[in-house]
Chains A and B, each alone.
Chain A
Amino acid sequence: MKGDRPGLFGETARRSRRGSSGSAGRRARPGSSGWAGGRGGGRGRGRPGPRRTASPSARRRRAGYLFSLPGLVFLALVLAYPLLYNVWTSVHDVRLTELLGGSSPFVGLDNYRTTLDDPDFWHAVRLSLVFTAGSLLFQFTIGFALALLFARPFPFNGLLRSLLLVAWLLPPVVSGTLFRWMLDQDAGAYNALLRAVGPDSLAHDWLIDPGTALAGVIFANVWVGVPFNMLLLLVGLHTIDPELHEAAALDGANAWQRFRWITVPLMRPVSVTVLLLGLVYTFKVFDLVFVMTGGGPVDATSVLSLYVYEIFFKFFRFGEGAAAGLLLLLVPLLAGAWYVRRLRGEGEAA
């Protein structure tokens, strides 16, 4: 075993991680949730004791409910209540004028209809999809490339990696402001760079031209997202047993073949997780875009989250805003549901 490989969690953590991908580890997971009433394949099997009336398992289950109660209450307060309130709002005509009187009439699905009939909404949906797809594509490929790079030892590896992480640690408002400044045509660093290496015409007011503003915002978001992708993918790379590569090399597989047939398939679960997290995060990005362009120029970067924000806090049409907000939630929700199903399927298959 090569000890000099920069391990993120150290050697022991790595071994235990690898262990958890074995069958024993797989089964341990559903088993541990058995007391909370999981569909326990492992529950009965684990305790073959004599079955009495109020069995310990029932008592355990009761205790489990009790222990999860504070968490459930917390979730209900901070998640369920606002969400339900939002649903309520979305089927009422809530405007600033009715806020105090409380006479917000029930309007059924009118708010959804208004939203779905609004060309600006669909414009925002398109922008959000382009923004998300573009961000994910570049974040992931660049992140993957960097992860491959940092997975091998070289001088200052750790230092460079920590520096890259700073990008991810910055609050979006800060990175947004930074990029707004760097992409500025007069004073911006990027245009100075472009002018230095090429003709003046390369310099461009990225955020001022409606044709390139979205690209500028995606550029910033990619920069923000790359370290996160790299970090998770690097962890993923460390879970791949180096012996597999060694064996393949002995069998005569070249570097590309080893990458294609060992690294890529084994990285699939991590990749899916990374992409999904990226999707959930990117689809609802607000602060970065808000700071960089405020939705402009014209409406070139008015992504869905900004659309919802404006309906709420610029036009004060709360009912419509709630409806649009729930529609905004739909994409991450569907992606999340798909992922959970997939995880569960994997757990059962093992």
Chain B
Amino acid sequence: MSHPVDRRGFLRAAGAGAAGLGLGSALAGCGSDKQSGTVTLTWWDYFTLDNFQAAFTRLIKDIEAQVPGVRIERRTFPFADLERQITLGAVSGDLPDIAIVDNVSMNTLAGSGLLADLTERVEDWGQADQYYKGPWDGCQVDGKSLGIPNNSNCLALYYNTRMLDSAGVKPPTTWDQLADAAQRLTSGERFGLAMSAIRTEEGVFQFLPFLWQAGGDLDTFATDGATALAFLDDLVAKGSLSEQCVGWTQQDVNTRFVNGRAAMQINGPWQLPTIKKTDVEFGVVALPRDKEAATCLGGENWVVMASSDHQDKAWQVLEYTQRPSVLVPFLVGLGNLPARKDLADTGTWASDPALRLFLSQLPVARPRQYGPGYADAAQAVAEAEQSVLTGTSSPSAVARSAAPKIDRALEER
């Protein structure tokens, strides 16, 4: 199937949707015997960086060629703006047909009625068991499928091979080893460990693994939260972790690691392209465990908006993107990991040891799936962590005072 329109439509900016619609339907009318005309689906995401564009361009081109009667009008927003745009769109009635959202956004969006219920379509499709549990569960809310995971990521521990070798330190696998290694790797301007403890979701994303590794969860914050906070507090007290991490984004953390100001860092696979451009020799291991092995699940989900008039077509697009032959090149192009188990042995992640390590962590990666009150709970967690790391209050005291706030937020339904 080759439409001459495809390339032209694609070359034009996505903004010319209306013209594309007219032209497309005219051609579909004479060129095919399908009774339906071409529909233009609007699509929002937050993949604004240049190095993502080639993969998206190709995917959209493929969709327009392979899914009958579909034209895509894509709009990108900065990461922090997408969720806000969707809520503003809900007020003004300007919403896309499909979107790729952060998996943590499901907490907010799930109860909003903004997302189309895909349950029946997903059942007919029958591929649910091909996905890792964490990413898949993140799309299931109150027994309904509200999305399809597109890609996954999680946190692991990067280390500077040369620094560890010269200090005679092995990559840590437990909390005690981590504390020990971090201390021995700290010298002068260099910190043993760098992580993000910023007051936003990024900081919470990096803190939650410690809470889970301590054997707890948000509902046991008073005790296990105190354990996790005390561990980090100790790292700061010994100088192994910079107090400045309360102001660092994950990007800042990676900059420290790449500049040799940190011997180890907690970060995600999306930093790999940046690190590989430098001459830093590095390795990646699973996050050190305490009582349990755990890491935090990141990634993006596909969703269809309930307000869309073209939910069937939108679903066809989603289904198309999940075909291994389409998904693998797309994810490789993005530098992301699949959320599908059946793709584990294909793509770059099968051969690249760092990506392979991240992929191997997906089974213990937990989604932040706590319901609509999660934002309040996360804020309480972030502030608790910050007040401990800045020396404002003690771990046990702050855990005790944050716990009721978190409980109240999570009860919200």
- A interface residues, Cβ below 8 angstroms from B: 96-97, 99-101, 180, 184-186, 205, 207-210, 293-299, 310, 313-316
B111 touches A299 (CB 8 A): no
Partner of B200, one of A100, A209, A294: A294
Q: Which residues of A contact B307 (CB under 8 A)?
A: 100
Interface residues of B in 318-340 (CB under 8 A from A): none
Q: Contact between A186 and B244 (Cβ–Cβ < 8 Å)?
A: yes
CB–CB B90/A315 < 8 A: no
Interface of A is mostly: loop
Chain A residues lying within 8 Å of B247, measured Cβ to Cβ, are 180, 207-208, 293, 296-297
- Nearest-neighbor residue (CB-CB) of B109 within chain A: A96
Question: Which of B112, B199, B375, B390 is in CB contact (< 8 Å) with A209?
Answer: B390
> Contact between A315 and B87 (Cβ–Cβ < 8 Å)?
no
Q: What is the predominant secondary structure among interface residues of chain B facing chain A?
A: helix
Contact A99 B112, CB 8 Å, known A208-B243, A297-B386, A298-B383 = yes
Q: How far is the CA of A59 from the CA of B266 in the complex (A)?
A: 75
0/1 string, B86-128, CB within 8 A of A gives 1:
0100110000000000000000110111100000000000000
**Across-interface contacts of B372 in A (CB, < 8 A):** 96-97
Partner pick for B246 among A208, A310, A313, CB 8 A cutoff:
A208
CB <8 Å contact, A100 and B112: yes
Partner of A316, one of B246, B375, B386, B392: B375
B386 touching A296, Cβ below 8 Å: yes
| Contact between A186 and B84, CB atoms less than 8 A apart | no
Quick one: CB contact mask for B52-64 with A, threshold 8 Å, 1 for yes? 0000000000000
A297 B90 Cβ-Cβ under 8 A? no
**Do A316 and B200 touch across chains, with their CB atoms under 8 A apart?**
no
**A100→B376 contact, CB < 8 A:** no
Nearest Cβ distance between residue B89 and chain A, in whole angstroms?
A: 10
Q: How far is the CA of A341 from the CA of B244 in the complex (A)?
A: 48
State the CA gap A209–B379 with chains docked (Å). Answer: 19
A293 to B306, CA, bound (A): 37
CA A154 to CA B147, docked complex, whole Å: 69
Do B112 and A298 touch (CB < 8 A)?
no
**Closest approach, in angstroms, between the C-beta of B132 and any C-beta of chain A?**
28
A296 interface neighbour in B91, B189, B198, Cβ under 8 Å: B198
- In the complex, the chain A residue whose C-beta lies closest to that of B112 is A96
Cβ contacts under 8 Å, A296 to chain B: 198-199, 246-247, 382-383, 386
Contact of B87 among A295, A298, A299, A316 (CB under 8 A): A316
Asked if B199 and A315 sit within 8 Å, CB to CB, the answer is: no
Query: Top 5 A-B pairs ranked by shortest CB distance?
Result: A296-B199, A99-B90, A96-B112, A298-B386, A298-B387
**Closest chain A residue to B385, Cβ basis:** A298
The smallest beta-carbon distance between A179 and chain B, in angstroms, is 12
Q: How far is the CA of A296 from the CA of B382 in the complex (A)?
A: 10
Q: Given contact pairs A294-B200, A297-B247, enumerate 4 new A-B contacts (beta carbons under 8 Å).
A: A96-B372, A100-B306, A296-B199, A297-B386
Chain B residues 364-384 with CB under 8 Å of chain A are 372, 375-376, 379, 382-383
Q: Give min CB distance, B250 to chain A, whole Å.
A: 14
- How many A-B residue pairs lie within 8 Å, measured between CB atoms? 81
B387 cross-chain contacts in A, Cβ below 8 A: 210, 297-298
Distance in angstroms from A333 CB to nearest chain B CB is: 25
Residue B261 at the A interface, CB < 8 A? yes
Contacts of A96 in B (CB 8 A): 87, 90, 108-109, 111-112, 114, 372
| B199 adjacent to A297 (CB under 8 Å) | yes
In whole angstroms, what is the CA distance A180 to B382 when docked?
A: 20
In Å, the complex CA distance between A210 and B199 comes to: 13
Using CB atoms, name the residue of chain A closest to B248.
A208
Cβ contacts A to B, 7 pairs, < 8 Å: A99-B91, A186-B189, A186-B244, A210-B386, A294-B198, A298-B392, A310-B379
Contact: A298 with B390, CB < 8 Å? yes
Which of A184, A186, A294, A297 has the most chain B CB atoms closer than 10 A to its own CB? A297
Contact B390 A315 (CB under 8 A): no
Report yes or no: A314 in contact with B111, Cβ–Cβ below 8 A.
Answer: no
Cβ contact within 8 Å between A99 and B87: yes
Closest to B413 in A: A97
Asked if residues A313 and B87 are in contact (CB atoms below 8 Å), the reply is yes
CA distance A210 to B385 in the complex (A): 13
In the complex the two chains form, is A294's CB within 8 Å of B87's CB?
A: no
Task: Establish whether residues A295 and B199, one from each chain, have CB atoms under 8 Å apart when the complex forms.
Answer: yes
CB-based nearest A residue for B189: A186
Shortest distance in angstroms between B215's beta carbon and chain A's nearest beta carbon? 26
Q: How far is the CA of A296 from the CA of B245 in the complex (A)?
A: 12
**Which residues in window 224-282 of B have CB below 8 A to A?**
243-244, 246-247, 261
Which of B114, B189, B244 has a CB less than 8 Å from the CB of A205?
B244
Q: A183 to B87: give the CA distance in the assembly, Å.
A: 35
CB distance from A175 to the nearest CB of B (A): 17
* B199 to chain A: closest residue by CB: A296
- Residues from chain B with a CB closer than 8 A to the CB of A205 are 243-244
Tell me if B114 and A100 are in contact (CB < 8 A).
Answer: yes
Residues of A within 8 A of B200 (CB): 294
Report how far A227 CA is from B382 CA in the complex, Å: 37
Chain B residues with CB below 8 A from A208, complex form: 243-244, 246-247, 390
**Partner of A210 from B109, B379, B382, B390 at Cβ < 8 Å:** B390
Give the shortest distance, in Å, between A292 (CB) and chain B (any CB). 9
Contacts of A316 in B (CB 8 A): 87, 108, 375
**Closest Cβ of chain A: how far from B372's Cβ, in Å?**
7
Closest to B83 in A: A313
- A99 CA to B307 CA, complexed, in Å: 12
